[in-house]
Amino acid sequence: MTDASGAALDELARTPVLLTALDFDGTLSPLENEPMDARMLPAARDAVEALVGTPETFVALVSGRSLSDLRVIAEHGDDSRIWLAGSHGAEFWIPGEGAVEPADDPADVALRDRLRSEAEQATSDLEGVWIEPKTFGFGVHTRRSDAESADAANRRVDRIVAAHAPHWRRRTGHNIVEYSFRHEGKDSAVRELRERTGATAVLFAGDDVTDEDALRSLGPRDVGVHVGTGPTAARALVKDIPAMAAFLAELARRRSAPRE
């Protein structure tokens, strides 16, 4: 454990009400060629469940996945005490209440369906490229394609969206480009969760560029953790998912111990 990680744990263990907000893919679960195959590593699940059971601690999964897909891969039941923020914070699941989903303009939905279909047609000849349906748009997956096909797919879909929906939000991630007619981000998701839980501090952890919005939004009492290497706004770094799970397990242990 680094000095920064140790200091972060000390601060988080002492805060009266803690919100632990965690990205899913690459943070708790390995990245998969088939996105719906993703599941938490056993050590990560054990740590998350331990945190859920600690005093004055709220745990949330904050993901770019659609809420319905996030519930599947997180194996999230109706009685779960874990909060969810899907679609980068456009959808929520609140324990005891259920899904909170916005009502969207039918014109936005129709445009989403049309552009998704055009993207599928435009990339159908590129091996390994897959268009993922999302509640508010779609994603172009290129993990299974070569670099040339990935570049061609992204250029073709960029042209389609620029021509018909230049106001849409574009995000890049690990071998995916996402397009959405909603503009929420993980920063707004964390802000909403903080307000709803009354947290006095937030731990946010993620591994991808889409997590940097949330990491940059954190305050002086909060802690950001980046999983992996590379430029980040996070204060603490862990090398991989098992190390992230160990960090969370230690946090659960400290939150469960008698406080001074």
Reference 180, options 200, 194, 165, 193; nearest CA is: 165
Please tell me the distance from the alpha carbon of residue 157 to that of residue 61, in angstroms, as a whole number. 29
Torsional sign, CA 231, 236, 237, 242: negative
The pLDDT-based confidence of 260 (bands split at 50, 70, 90) is low
pLDDT score, position 259: 64
Dist CA 6 CA 4 (whole Å): 5
Exposed/middle/buried for 162, CB within 10 Å: 0-12, 13-18, 19+?
A: exposed
170, 179 in Cβ contact below 8 A? yes
Q: Would you place residue 225 in the very low, low, confident or very high pLDDT band (cuts 50, 70, 90)?
A: very high
% of the chain surpassing 70 pLDDT = 98
Phi-psi region at 250: left, alpha or beta (left = phi > 0; alpha = psi -120 to 50): alpha
pLDDT digits (tens, 9 = 90+) for 147-202: 999 999 999 999 999 999 999 999 998 889 999 999 899 999 999 999 999 999 99
**What is the pLDDT averaged over residues 113-121?**
97
3-class SS string, 114-166: HHHHHHHHHCCCCCCCEEEEECCEEEEECCCCCHHHHHHHHHHHHHHHHHHCC
Q: Rounded mean pLDDT of the chain?
A: 94
CATH classification number, 3-102+185-256, choose in 3.40.50.1000, 3.40.190.10, 1.10.10.410, 2.40.50.1070: 3.40.50.1000
